[in-house]
Structures are given as structure tokens and as C-alpha cells.
């Protein structure tokens, strides 16, 4: 399926409430909020700052990740999602944003930033998801289902 060459305006319509935070390379980057005031979701739009349109070349996806605003850094691979730019990208983008939002909460122990991560270590729990806190490493329990 062909990549859709959407405009900046079309991208912004698909991402209500987003604010433009700058550029990365030649693409516009946006931020949308989560339930935690210290965490946003950064969205790399693939819209070229020169042309105002999504780049037609390559297989670039729309990349989005959880971002810790006060530390100025992403929350790592665990918090990164991609959406391809073929037909239907707007709905898939909305679903991915909702899924990222669902992985953030206030840490019930210390009030810091709690996020869902997956166990990476080899063993019976590999891939299992759990809550933990990025501030103090508080354990928030397994995410069942
Ligand atoms: Zn905590």
C-alpha cells in the first residue's frame, strides 16, 4: 500500500491537542499530554519542515514515545511505538497514543512517574508486564491480562 503524503494541517487534525515542540532533522515534532504532568508523548510526524508534507521517500513511520519533560529524555525502548503511514494511519495513530497513555500513572508509593514495562531478563517472567516508577524504582505490581 502506498504511503500517504499528508500535509502538516492533516497531521495536526489527526492529533488533537498536540503542541509543536520543534524539529528533529527535517521533521516536525509534536507533544501530547498524559495523565501525569511530567510525562508527554513526543510524536515525530514525518512531515518535512521544508515542504510541509510527509516525506514520500523511504519507509519512515510515525514514531512516538513517552517523554519525561523535566529530565528532557525519552523513557526508552519500552515506551516507543510506530505507525506506518499507509491508509488508515490516523486511527492507528490515535490507538497507539491511547495505548501509550494507558502505560502512565502516578506512582502510588512516592507520587513519581509510574510506567508499565516488560521483563527483559531471560526466565519464566520474560515479556510479562509490570508497573514501576522511574523516580525511585518502586514496584507497582504485575499488569495482568
Ligand atoms: Zn515511586
**Do 61 and 87 fall into the same domain?**
yes
Q: Is the pLDDT of residue 138 over 70?
A: yes
Q: List the domain range (segments joined by +) for residue 124.
A: 103-145
Q: The cell 488533537 sits on which residue?
A: 16
**Do 30 and 62 fall into the same domain?**
yes
Q: Which three cell numbers stand for residue 93?
A: 495513530
Cα of 11 vs centre of ligand 1, distance in Å, is: 35
**Do 17 and 78 fall into the same domain?**
yes
Q: What is the pLDDT of residues 2-53, one digit of tens each?
A: 888 899 999 999 999 999 999 988 899 999 999 999 999 999 999 999 999 8
Cα of 144 vs centre of ligand 1, distance in Å, is: 20
Question: Average pLDDT over the chain, rounded to whole?
Answer: 91
Q: What is the mean pLDDT of residues 66-72?
A: 95
**Do 88 and 115 fall into the same domain?**
no
- Number of domains the chain contains: 2
**Do 109 and 94 fall into the same domain?**
no
Cα of 114 vs centre of ligand 1, distance in Å, is: 7
Cα of 132 vs centre of ligand 1, distance in Å, is: 7
Cα of 106 vs centre of ligand 1, distance in Å, is: 8
**Do 86 and 58 fall into the same domain?**
yes
Q: Which three cell numbers stand for residue 73?
A: 529524555
Cα of 78 vs centre of ligand 1, distance in Å, is: 18
Which of 88, 89, 76 shows the shortest CA–CA distance to 116?
A: 76
**Do 96 and 110 fall into the same domain?**
no
**Do 27 and 55 fall into the same domain?**
yes
Cα of 2 vs centre of ligand 1, distance in Å, is: 45
Burial of residue 133 (CB within 10 Å: 0-12, 13-18, 19+) is buried
**Do 57 and 121 fall into the same domain?**
no
φ, ψ dihedrals at 78, nearest 5°? -60, -25
Cα of 103 vs centre of ligand 1, distance in Å, is: 15
**Do 79 and 47 fall into the same domain?**
yes
* pTM listed for this prediction: 0.89
**Do 58 and 76 fall into the same domain?**
yes
**Do 78 and 29 fall into the same domain?**
yes
Question: How much of the chain, in percent, has pLDDT values that exceed 90?
Answer: 75
Amino acid at each position: 500500500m502506498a504511503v500517504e503524503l499528508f500535509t502538516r494541517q492533516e497531521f495536526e487534525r489527526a492529533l488533537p491537542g498536540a503542541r509543536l515542540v520543534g524539529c528533529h532533522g527535517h521533521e516536525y515534532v509534536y507533544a501530547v499530554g498524559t495523565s501525569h504532568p511530567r510525562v508527554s508523548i513526543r510524536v515525530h510526524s514525518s512531515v518535512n519542515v521544508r515542504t510541509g508534507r510527509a516525506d514520500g521517500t523511504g519507509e519512515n513511520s510515525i514514531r512516538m514515545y513517552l517523554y519525561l519533560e523535566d529530565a528532557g529524555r525519552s523513557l526508552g525502548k519500552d515506551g516507543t511505538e510506530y505507525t506506518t503511514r499507509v491508509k488508515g494511519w490516523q486511527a492507528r495513530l490515535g490507538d497507539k497514543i491511547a495505548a501509550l497513555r494507558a502505560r502512565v500513572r502516578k506512582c502510588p508509593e512516592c507520587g513519581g512517574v509510574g510506567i508499565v514495562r516488560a521483563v527483559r531478563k531471560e526466565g519464566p517472567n520474560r515479556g510479562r508486564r509490570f508497573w514501576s516508577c522511574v523516580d525511585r524504582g518502586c514496584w507497582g505490581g504485575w499488569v495482568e491480562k
